[in-house]
Amino acid sequence: MADSTAETTGGGGMSLTSKIMIAMGLGIVVGVILNTIDNDFLNTQIVAGFFGMIGTMFVNALKMLVVPLVFFSLLGGVTGIGDIRVLGRVGSKSFGLYLFTTALAITVALVLATLIGPGRGFDMTGIDVSGINAAEAPTVWAVFAAIVPTNPIQAFASGEMLQVIFYTVVLGIAVLMLGGRSKPFIEACDYMNEVMMKIVDLVMRAAPYGVFALIAKTFAEQGIGLFLPVLAYVVTLVAALMIHLFITLPTLLKTLSGLNPITFMRKMRPAQIFAFSTASSNATIPITYQCATERVGCDKSVASFCIPFGATINMDGTAIMQGVATVFLANVYAIDLGLAGYVTVIGMAVLASIGTAGVPGVGLVMLTMVLGQVGLPIEGIAIILGVDRLMDMIRTAVNITGDAIVTSIVAKGEGKIDLAVFENPDAGIETSADAQLPHEAIA
């Protein structure tokens, strides 16, 4: 049976990605219509009720896969690398690249926002800027100290990804040190990893319905009117995200790996769609991993480490939002940040991204830290709160693209990428015939 991926074709020959894009388009149309009608019954029973139920079930199903998939795939990756020195090299390369892309992203955002100047002459009439609480900015020592779990079981249960990764890597190293005695355990982990990937396939078959419900609910609740008061902020933020997504990151990929950015973007499209619909880097881990290994051709030993690691510490899109929002609010309150303020924003964004989970809405929590450090009123977040959900969807797609690009760069540098898979446009696409259970399994 062929390897499966997020682009499984159905009985009519249409790929799953195409179905999801159609579902997303229908969701936008239905959501806008429901927002225009603004009926109490439709809002409570259909939008918040039915759509909310379907969307929550779908996201929960994706999140259900994350911790066991990361655990078993990362264990297989560590043992598959076989050399602790190579593992250290992969880890240090990915960590350095993730920090670099985050710093690069927020620098692009600050430069563009400074040139456009969103927020100048903004009218705050009718905007409630009360009730926003600031989050305390962590020290660099606290961020790194929190990586080591006091209770691994609790870390797994709460989904603390950095702690899960740390414990799994330590366990993998211990398994390697035991040598041949670990062979049955390694085989069992490889088998469980295959099982988890099959569960991913099962969840993916419900993807069009989940994506439709998520998008329809978002647009039904948010509408288009929320964009008008903060249109300059939205335009600047989307422009910065698009520059990073289609210029900065592809240039980095081409320069450091020599891979074709257009081919790469085409192959990562399913993961980008999922990231957009769920607004969660963590929930998209199974799809990002699947695209990186089966579509792009990255070796599982590299992808199993870099993808979950990136979903936790790599926040390119979120960093861009913080940069644009900081300049926007500084203009709104007529406060001159100066060069020192911009440097502080860059440093805070990079630091905060290391210890922040990749879940919906986390960008606003990180933004309160940044605003507090540069002396801007925390209450100003209320101005952009209404449009943040839709902006979160776009920046999450940027986040996971950065994860996959760093993974590909590291894999190429380590000689751990299959170029034949990368160049094959059909790699990882499962046909409808392949989707059926083999006769032996049925028997």
- CATH number of the domain where residue 429 is located: 1.10.3860.10
Would you state the pLDDT for residue 137?
A: 57
> Rounded to an integer, what distance in angstroms lies between the CA atom of residue 192 and that of residue 286?
14
In this model, does residue 358 exceed pLDDT 70? Answer: no
Would you state the pLDDT for residue 138?
A: 61
Would you state the pLDDT for residue 70?
A: 80
Q: Structure pTM?
A: 0.77
Q: Phi/psi at 314 (nearest 5 deg)?
A: -100, 110
Would you state the pLDDT for residue 442?
A: 34
Asked whether residue 40 is domain-assigned, the answer is: yes
Asked whether residue 4 is domain-assigned, the answer is: no
Q: Among 194-198, 233-237, 323-327, 412-416, which stretch is predicted with the lowest mean pLDDT?
A: 194-198
- Bridge partners of 9, per DSSP, are 15
Q: What total of structural domains would you count in the chain?
A: 1
Q: Which residues contact 212 (CB under 8 A, 6 or more apart)?
A: 23, 24, 26, 27, 30, 54
The two structure tokens encoding residue 181:
């005695």
> Rounded to an integer, what distance in angstroms lies between the CA atom of residue 251 and that of residue 245?
10
User: Residue 431 — pLDDT band, cuts 50, 70, 90?
Assistant: very low
242-262 pLDDT, tens digit per residue, is 999 999 999 999 999 999 999
The mean per-residue pLDDT over the stretch 373-383 comes to 81
Asked whether residue 436 is domain-assigned, the answer is: yes
Asked whether residue 318 is domain-assigned, the answer is: yes
Asked whether residue 341 is domain-assigned, the answer is: yes
338-354 pLDDT, tens digit per residue, is 888 888 888 877 776 66
Domain that holds residue 68: 16-442
- Return the percentage of the chain with pLDDT > 90, whole number: 32
Asked whether residue 98 is domain-assigned, the answer is: yes
Asked whether residue 6 is domain-assigned, the answer is: no
Would you state the pLDDT for residue 413?
A: 93
Burial 36-71, CB ≥16 within 10 A → b, else e: eeeeeebbeebbeeebbebbeebbebbbebbbbbbb
Asked whether residue 370 is domain-assigned, the answer is: yes
